[in-house]
Amino acid sequence: MPIEVFSRFEKKYVVTREQMEFLREQISEYMYADKHNKDGKMYNIANIYYDTKEDLLIGRSIEKPKYKEKLRLRSYGVPELDDKVFLEIKKKYKGLVNKRRTTLKLRDAYKFVDEGIRPGETEYTNKQVMNELEYFLKLYDLEPKVYITYDRYAYFSKTDNDFRLTFDTNIKTRRTDLRLEAGGYGDLLMGEDFWLMEVKSLYSFPLWFVKLLSDNQIYSKSFSKYGNEYRAYIKNQEELLNV
């Protein structure tokens, strides 16, 4: 069963393709690839982010407060309506990320978020997380805002299950046709030669990895997929008004 409740610190880095390939080669001694990266291929992740009509959640988030939260619906690959997906709350307090998610069928997830119809309990739903999601949905009047998809390489430490590393590329977004089953098309969020690397751990990063970054002058950078998409969207809207 996938992990449904976990906390960790995350750091992000924007790297070139050359840096990504170099890092993947260097970490092979210490990390192993995610089982979904079969034969060295990337796997796809797709998300729908929800927000209020006034974009309250993302508006708060980009102000970088001590505490922020968001709701998203996530699939691995392009799902059908009866396929299982994840509905999750992502919270961040003083840099510590907490995720709480449950598995639902896609059609049931839509009914839950859009209509407030809570699905019956199954062997794959997490009752406590469902209660928290129900409260979140009552607290905010949410609607689907943006679709974000990307392809990923993921790695786990051979000695520390808590240390994880991911490389995301082909990040695409759209603000229409907000359905996971519609497939992964949209506008590129960043250039094709750049990758978003995320480092995730509840504890400090291993020394070998810190040294690897330092020796190659790779530095962390604040980067939120939804946040960057929202900034680009607002800028585009302002430009349209000024035409």
46-68 pLDDT, tens per residue?
Answer: 999 999 999 999 999 999 899 99
What tokens does 130 get? 């469902």
Identify whether the C-beta of residue 97 lies closer than 8 Å to the C-beta of residue 8.
yes
pTM of the model as a whole? 0.94
Q: Radius of gyration of the chain from Cα atoms?
A: 18
φ/ψ of residue 160, rounded to 5: -135, 105
pLDDT of residue 6: 78
CA 69 to CA 26: how far, in whole Å?
Answer: 34
Torsion, CA 183, CA 185, CA 188, CA 192, rounded to 10: 80
pLDDT of residue 241: 79
CA 99 to CA 187: how far, in whole Å?
Answer: 27
> Mean per-residue pLDDT for 166-171?
98
**Number of domains composing the chain:** 1
Tens digits of residue pLDDT in 73-114: 999 999 999 999 999 999 999 889 999 999 999 999 999 999
Domain of residue 82, residue span = 5-241
Q: What is the CATH number of the domain that holds 207?
A: 3.20.100.30
CA 196 to CA 35: how far, in whole Å?
Answer: 20
Please report which confidence band the pLDDT of residue 1 belongs to, taking 50, 70 and 90 as the band edges.
very low
For residue 3, pLDDT beyond 70: no
Cα angle value 208/24/154 (rounded, 5°) = 100
Percentage of residues in the chain having pLDDT higher than 70: 98
CA 226 to CA 241: how far, in whole Å?
Answer: 23
Query: What is the residue-averaged pLDDT of the chain?
Result: 94
